[in-house]
Structure 1
Amino acid sequence: MARQPLAPVRPPCRLYLITPPHIAHLDAFAAQLEQALDAGDVAALQIRLKPAEEGDIRNAVQRLLPIARAMGVAVLLNDRPDLARTLGCDGVHIGQEDAPLAEARRILGPDAMIGVTCHADRDLAWDAAEGGADYVAFGAFYPTATKETAHRPELELLSTWQETVEVPCVAIGGITVDNAAALARAGADFIAVSGGVWAHPDGPAVAVSRFAAVLAAVAEEI
């Protein structure tokens, strides 16, 4: 019998943290962040403050970026490729109403990480992937209080994307420790979480630890 080629091993799904939209006490949050990042595997931190003055965004990046870097966590800034470059972030996450992908790439250069929100639209994701995005984000998969959402993709979108496209996909929106496994099994390369960590009743560090355990268990299955 002819030997069959081995199926490619899919990397485990990883946690992608997003800050709360408002940080009342930056030093206190920085301490929480350090504890959270020390509690389990985190791939990236997106600093997303809305609404916020530019000075507040600068202060947040300057305070939080060194903490994440010390833990080997990539730092992306939401919406602002210009500030991301000025402040030394690893990249930017842009929405459909933000700076175009080509403009963000021009500002940040070829080595920066750029992610694009694609809601529940596979065509938007294809365009982003072909345009050089480093990842595409689908969501919101579940109800969320972090931001207003008008799109609710099915899990099948993650599976189809995983099977047909090499560009990684991020699942976002209302993700908790209880529903994260379904997204990881469906094909998410990353799960983006905000309230599910920062508003966890047992604290952010416990939340990250539990997310890490869930994702590790799914990785053992697939």
Structure 2
Amino acid sequence: MSDCQLYLISPLDVSGAFPDRLASALDAGPVAAFQFRVKGIDEHEAARLADPLQRICADREVAFIVNDSVSLAKRLGADGVHLGQNDGDLADARARLGRDAQIGVTCHNSRHFAMEAGDAGADYVAFGAFYPTITKQTEHVAAPDLLTWWQSIFELPCVAIGGITPDNAAPLVAAGADFLAVSNAVWGGNEAAAVQAFAAVLQA
């Protein structure tokens, strides 16, 4: 039984029936965390969209993580924030969100970025993209041995991201990913069936 867990990332459009889809996904199998990732809307609107999703996660004890915005994470009282390399200072985020917040950092395929994030007090580091992805433009490609290297040296959890599907996830689990971050593989079709398919891989 692997210790790897599923980390869902929202589609950019979380309006309409999306709360029902989120509930369906979370009820289909074990999910450790949900990242709220919307772009190009103001914080007030983002908070309005986040509210029902945050409640759905809280009811199921799924961590609710905000992408990019420390101020939105603080406003929502979210469980944490995920920072890209250009999304501000980790120490500042820690000071604003408190020591209990889960703060993750995108490290692409860089061992240096990951070690810097660990030294700065990140709760997890994210590596990728491991596979071609349509969710965002791929500038950095990571190999599974990066996960193995990280696990051999550091206690800090690592997240694998980028084009991960139930069909290609197993090598990343074997290499040492603590979490698989997935978006289109779940929201691009039947979310409940996709979560069940990932659960089968993670329990194999």
TM-superposed deviation, 1:73? 0.2
Following superposition of structure 1 onto structure 2, how do residues 68-79 of structure 1 map, counting pairs within 5 Å? 68-79=57-68
For residue 13 of structure 1, what is the aligned residue in structure 2?
A: 4
Structure 1 pair 66/24, CA: closer, same or farther in 2 (3 Å)? closer
Determine the structure 2 residue equivalent to 1:6.
none
1:144 equivalenced with 2:133 (yes/no):
yes
Q: 2:45 aligns with which of 41, 56, 62?
A: 56
User: Paired residue for 1:133?
Assistant: 122
Distance across 2 between alignment mates of 1:118 and 1:11: 23
Q: May I ask how many residue pairs the two structures share in their alignment?
A: 204
Could you tell me how far apart the structure 2 residues matched to 1:134 and 1:52 are?
Answer: 27
Q: Partner residue of 2:99?
A: 110
Q: Distance in 2 between matches of 1:137 and 1:127?
A: 13
Q: String of CA shifts for 1:187-209, please: whole Å, max 9, x gaps.
A: 10000000010003xx0011001
TM-superposed CA distance for 1:11, in Å, is 6.0
Superposition misfits of 4+ residues, deviation over 3 angstroms: none
| Cα shift at 1:23 | 2.6
User: Does the CA-based 8 Å contact 1:21-1:51 persist in structure 2?
Assistant: no
Please state if 1:82 is matched with 2:71.
yes
Please give the alpha-carbon distance, in whole angstroms, between the structure 2 residues aligned to 1:61 and 1:31. Answer: 13
Which amino acid is the alignment partner of residue 194 of structure 2?
Answer: A
CA contact (8 A) 1:21 1:146 kept: no
- Determine if the alignment matches structure 1 residue 160 to structure 2 residue 129: no
Distance in 1 (alpha carbons) for counterparts of 2:11 and 2:23? 15
Q: Which runs of 5+ in 2 are unaligned?
A: none
1:24-63 alignment to 2 at 5 Å?
A: 24-25=15-16, 28-63=17-52
SS in 2 for 1:66: helix
SS at match of 1:33: helix
User: Which has the larger Rg?
Assistant: 1
Contact kept? 2:2, 2:203, Cα under 8 Å: no
Kindly state the Cα deviation for residue 24 of structure 1 after the two structures are TM-superposed.
4.2
* Helix, strand or coil at the partner of 2:28: coil
SS in 2 for 1:38: helix
The answer for the alignment partner of 2:56 in structure 1 is 67
Residue 56 of structure 1 deviates from its aligned partner by: 2.6
Q: Which residue of 1 aligns with 2:196?
A: 209
Kept in 1: contact 2:15–2:49 (CA 8 A): no
Aligned residues of 2:2 and 2:173 also touching (Cα < 8 A): no
TM norm structure 2? 0.97
Unaligned runs of 5+ in 1: 1-9, 218-222
SS across alignment from 1:84: helix
Distance 1:154 1:65 in 2: 33
Per-residue Cα deviation, 1:39-60 (whole angstroms, up to 9, x for no partner): 0010000000123222331112
**Root-mean-square deviation (CA), in Å?**
1.1
Pairs within 5 Å for 1:189-204: 189-200=178-189, 203-204=190-191
> Structure 1 residue 169 and structure 2 residue 163: aligned?
no
How far apart, CA to CA, are the structure 2 residues paired with 1:74 and 1:186? 24
